[in-house]
Structure 1
Amino acid sequence: MSDTHPVVAITGSSGAGTTTVTDTFAQIFARESITSAIVHGDSFHRYDRDEMKRVYEEAGENAPSHFGPEANLFGELEDLFAEYGRSGTGKVRQYVHDDEEAQLYGRPPGTFTPWLDLPAGTDLLYYEGLHGAVRTDAVDVARHVDLRIGVVPIINLEWIQKLHRDRSTRGYSTEAVTDTILRRMPDYVHYICPQFSNTHINFQRVPVVDTSNPFIAGWIPTLDESMVVIRFADPRGIDFPYLLSMIDGSFMSRANSIVVPGGKMHLAMQLIFTPLIWWLVESSRKARAREGART
């Protein structure tokens, strides 16, 4: 963690909705005139698309998944967070997803750009991906993050979202997506789930419609068909009466948890994150000013 260069990490598995949360943060950054260095978790995968296919073919049932350490650069991610906390910079690259990004980066889809330094003069580093709060015997990424946020739909909803996304945008069959889910399950249990005990705040979307068989679901439950459980690891300083008064239909389920209608999730994020981000940035700017005065 850093007094001068804060790191914010949004952690959630594939299809969890972290991109939607990123849109909310983009609005906050624009409104509060905050400049951020954006880092995407797939930039720290170990293999590009063709390499991963080859690894799958060679390893068979023992193939690594994008959830676990064998297919990721956990050490490099920890180094980036640590270096940014010290100096406000660090090495990153981009993963090229599609033809549109290929034109932007000048690299074929499914490959990585070269490693480059982050732009100078940013207020914070913003990470969105799978491993923003990961801890293993070898690395502790979480300890370098000032604000750790988990995005955790219940598992059936997560699978529904992944099935629909991979079939509609990537052309995969239901059987292929199901195989991926099964292959990733051990790494999901050992490396994804434990992160949500390391987060400061978790957002868990819970549908109020039947999702008992996600593999035949015809549509993704909407926000209005859901409730969102927001859990604070440390509820001290959280103004729950204010949140309850501002978010119609919300209620407290535990002393550290508030439940809001799904359609109010973005409002809840704005109300919760804006003061936290403002405090992080203002504190870091003051800390940098003090360092500058001493030098």
Structure 2
Amino acid sequence: MSVEHPIVTVTGSSGAGTSFVKRAVEKIFDRENLNVAIVEGDSYHKYNRAEMKEKVAASKESGGPVLTHFSEHANEFAELEALFKEYKENGTGKQRYYIHSDEEADEHNARLGTNFSSGEFTPWEPIPEGTDVLFYEGLHGMVKRMDHGPKEGMHNVAQYVDLGIGVAPSINIEWMQKIYRDTSERPYSVEQVRDVILERMPDYIETIVPQFHRTHINFHRVPLIDTSDPFSTMSPDAPMGPAPEDSLIICHVRHQDIDLEAVKAKIPGAFLQNEETLVCGGEHMVEAMDLMMTPIIQNLIAKKRDAMAKLNG
């Protein structure tokens, strides 16, 4: 792979905590003073909000599998692969934005001189020139899957990724976090969120889970308190999940730039379960992420600058 244009991805399902890891990675980017092209996974969904609602309803009426955002049938894997390939080769590519809210609509409309609404996509536009790294956060940053759209075929997004980070909490914590977010920040009831979780399960198993075998680091949060029934409090006031001090973080590493012994020595109470797996208290999650990801990103940028220096003579 080209070292001039590195790609970093954070991958996990809705409610897994990818946004939390995204903030940790962006903090490293800021500290290293990097110019970053940020790509949101939602931007590569196939349908806007109204279209997706219609497609889901049609799938239910047909009696077949329910269409979900996890599925290859609801995403533009060909476009995502094309972006990663183009960025690796030339530091360019095209992206768009999915508009989540009225506030985001106002922001993009002011920028583009358009009149889009929440739930729609902005037009495709080029990645800004001169970025140091492309950073993707979403559902499919390490996907290798069929695309059943106009560009049908096997698409391997993962082959272009320099650092893939997986976020896979205990499934009950994931459900608790999704219930909390979708009932507190979005207009859904607990019952509606529960139904969506159940409908997504086949696609979660087929599309999301296999990506965690291709990542370089997986952060897996495990509860130390009883979360056996995440649906027991059928209320929008249900807790988001265990507090950091009431959970452990399992850090599984497959990357040569990480010295787990050195990381362990810097985190109080951390221990190595085996040579690839570090365990630490949940209150040290950000610290563990920083210690593991910083040297990898620094090495990626050092290789990029060395390669660019050679090209420039």
TM-score between the two structures when normalised by the length of structure 2: 0.91
Alpha-carbon displacement from aligned partner over 1:42-62 (angstroms, at most 9, x marks no partner): 000000000001111222153
Task: Give the gaps of 5 or more residues in structure 2.
Answer: 110-115, 147-153
Work out which of the residue numbers 60, 65, 69 in structure 2 matches 1:66: 69
Q: In structure 2, what is the equivalent of residue 49 of structure 1?
A: 49
Q: In structure 2, what is the equivalent of residue 202 of structure 1?
A: 218
Work out which of the residue numbers 118, 130, 133 in structure 2 matches 1:109: 118
User: In the aligned structure 1, how far is the partner of 2:76 from the partner of 2:94?
Assistant: 13
> Does structure 2 conserve the Cα–Cα contact (< 8 Å) formed by 1:163 and 1:174?
yes
Superposition deviation, residue 195 in structure 1? 0.3
Aligned with 1:96: secondary structure?
coil
Matched, 1:139 2:160: no
AA aligned to 1:284 is K
Q: In structure 2, what is the equivalent of residue 249 of structure 1?
A: 269
Alpha-carbon displacement from aligned partner over 1:238-270 (angstroms, at most 9, x marks no partner): 322221211001011122100011010101111
Aligned with 1:170: secondary structure?
coil
Matched, 1:181 2:200: no
User: In the aligned structure 2, how far is the partner of 1:2 from the partner of 1:164?
Assistant: 41
AA aligned to 2:170 is I
User: In the aligned structure 1, how far is the partner of 2:9 from the partner of 2:257?
Assistant: 21
Q: Which runs of structure 2 are paired with 1:18-97 in the superposition (5 Å)? A: 18-60=18-60, 61=63, 62-97=65-100
Q: In structure 2, what is the equivalent of residue 221 of structure 1?
A: 242
Q: In structure 1, what is the equivalent of residue 149 of structure 2?
A: none
User: In the aligned structure 1, how far is the partner of 2:18 from the partner of 2:44?
Assistant: 16
User: In the aligned structure 2, how far is the partner of 1:163 from the partner of 1:203?
Assistant: 21
Task: Give the gaps of 5 or more residues in structure 1.
Answer: none
Q: In structure 1, what is the equivalent of residue 7 of structure 2?
A: 7
Matched, 1:99 2:115: no
Identity of aligned residues (%): 47
User: In the aligned structure 1, how far is the partner of 2:257 from the partner of 2:101?
Assistant: 43
TM-score between the two structures when normalised by the length of structure 1: 0.96
Q: Quick one: structure 1 residues 87 and 68, their matched pair in 2 at CA, closer, same or farther if it must change by over 3 Å?
A: same
User: In the aligned structure 2, how far is the partner of 1:238 from the partner of 1:41?
Assistant: 27
Aligned with 1:139: secondary structure?
strand
Aligned with 1:215: secondary structure?
coil
The runs of at least 4 consecutive aligned structure 1 residues that moved more than 4 Å come to none
AA aligned to 2:94 is K
Work out which of the residue numbers 124, 128, 134 in structure 2 matches 1:119: 128
User: In the aligned structure 2, how far is the partner of 1:74 from the partner of 1:94?
Assistant: 15
User: In the aligned structure 1, how far is the partner of 2:57 from the partner of 2:84?
Assistant: 33
Aligned with 2:156: secondary structure?
coil
Q: In structure 1, what is the equivalent of residue 297 of structure 2?
A: 277
Q: In structure 2, what is the equivalent of residue 166 of structure 1?
A: 182
> Does structure 2 conserve the Cα–Cα contact (< 8 Å) formed by 1:5 and 1:123?
yes
AA aligned to 1:96 is I
CA RMSD across the alignment: 1.2
> Does structure 2 conserve the Cα–Cα contact (< 8 Å) formed by 1:97 and 1:110?
yes
User: In the aligned structure 2, how far is the partner of 1:240 from the partner of 1:129?
Assistant: 26
User: In the aligned structure 1, how far is the partner of 2:265 from the partner of 2:274?
Assistant: 17
Matched, 1:231 2:252: yes
Aligned with 1:204: secondary structure?
strand
> Does structure 1 conserve the Cα–Cα contact (< 8 Å) formed by 2:260 and 2:276?
no
AA aligned to 2:183 is R
**Greater shift in the superposed pair: 211-220 or 2-11:** 211-220
Superposition deviation, residue 237 in structure 1? 4.7
**Greater shift in the superposed pair: 113-122 or 136-145:** 136-145
